[in-house]
Amino acid sequence: MDQNELKKAVGIKSVDFIKPQMTVGLGTGSTVYYMVEELGRRVQAGLKIQCVTTSTRTWDQAEKLGIPLKKLNDVDHIDLTIDGADEIDKNFQGIKGGGGAHTYEKTVALNSQRNLWIVDQSKMVTTLGQFPLPLEVNPFGCQQLFQRLEKEGLKPAFRIDKQGNNLLTDMKNYIIDLHLGQIKHPHLLADWLDHQTGIIEHGLFLDLVNTVVVGCDDGPKIIENIR
């Protein structure tokens, strides 16, 4: 199976975790796309749920499919959030934000009773960091922040769109990607990044995921993170 077929298989499989009357967080990305398409089919077939989204992309897709949507501020809990990931290590720590949506994604994830990630097998790694670590940053003072990151040896690069401009997030911020190669101590790095003024949110998602559905050639595999 190619990567897209694996993404589609896990996207469809993950919808089995959604039960009637749940409030569900919908992530962002090309794997989540398939999950939302399948959820739309089930809602049209009569499944009663409500959802919050983590990006305008997902909101627009879900709205077109007739999935009932709420703003995050208007729900009192989220039963389950289903999202993609860019890397997951052997300790179930993850990198997200390849699509620049990680700030809203982390906000929704932190407010969810359960988090389920859907990935193809290429995302399962021994050590995080091969995938560049995304930072959402405030445009105000971003050059000074960039220099600070360079000085720390974190190999930053602004993410640029097709027109050659700084890519803008849903919140109209910029993205800086850190090309680290490997992240030996994710918690220490997360702690340092959490304390840098100008960084709105980083893409390290630590101690957050409960279940991972991995797309493998012989079918989706469900892995529980027993913590």
Ligand X SMILES: O=C[C@H](O)[C@H](O)[C@H](O)COP(=O)(O)O
Annotated binding site for substrate: 28-31, 83-86, 96-99, 123
CB of 108 to ligand X, least distance (A): 11
Residue 206's closest CA among 226, 227, 186?
Answer: 186
Among 175, 169, 212, smallest CA distance to 55 is for: 169
- Asked if 30 touches ligand X (CB under 6 A), the answer is yes
Question: If binding is defined by CB under 6 A, does position 25 make contact with ligand X?
Answer: no
Task: Work out whether strand 211-216 and strand 112-120 pair parallel, antiparallel, or are unpaired.
Answer: parallel
> Residues 80, 85, 193, 208: which binds ligand X (CB under 6 A)?
85
78-83 and 112-120 beta bridge pairing: parallel
**CB closer to ligand X, 49 vs 88:** 88
105 carries an active-site annotation: yes
CB 21 to ligand X: min, Å: 26
The answer to whether residue 136 forms part of the interface with ligand X (CB under 6 A) is no
Which positions ≥6 away from 186 have C-beta within 8 Å? 89, 93, 128, 204, 206
31 part of the interface to ligand X, by CB under 6 A? yes
Least separation in angstroms between residue 128's CB and ligand X is 14
Contact (Cβ atoms closer than 8 angstroms) between residue 84 and residue 118: yes
Q: Which own/partner contact pairs does 140-149 have at CB distance under 8 Å and 24+ positions apart?
A: 140/198, 141/197, 141/198, 142/174, 142/176, 142/198, 144/198, 145/176, 145/196, 145/197, 145/198, 145/199, 146/176, 148/196, 149/176, 149/178
- In the complex, minimum distance from the CB of residue 3 to ligand X, in angstroms, rounded to a whole number: 9
The reply to whether 105 sits near ligand X by the rule CB under 6 A is yes
Which one of 23, 28, 173, 211 is in contact with ligand X (CB under 6 A)?
28
- The catalytic residue among 38, 87, 105, 201 is 105
- By CB under 6 A, the count of residues binding ligand X is 17
- Provide the angle, in degrees to the nearest 10, between the axes of the packed helices 56-64 and 30-44: 30
Does 186 contact ligand X by CB under 6 A?
A: no
Instruction: Choose one: 99-107, 149-157, 161-169, 187-195; the region binding ligand X (CB under 6 A).
Output: 99-107
State the binding site: 28-31, 83-86, 96-99, 123
Cβ neighbors of 16 (< 8 A, separation 6 or more) are none
Residues that bind ligand X (CB under 6 A): 27-31, 83-86, 96-102, 105
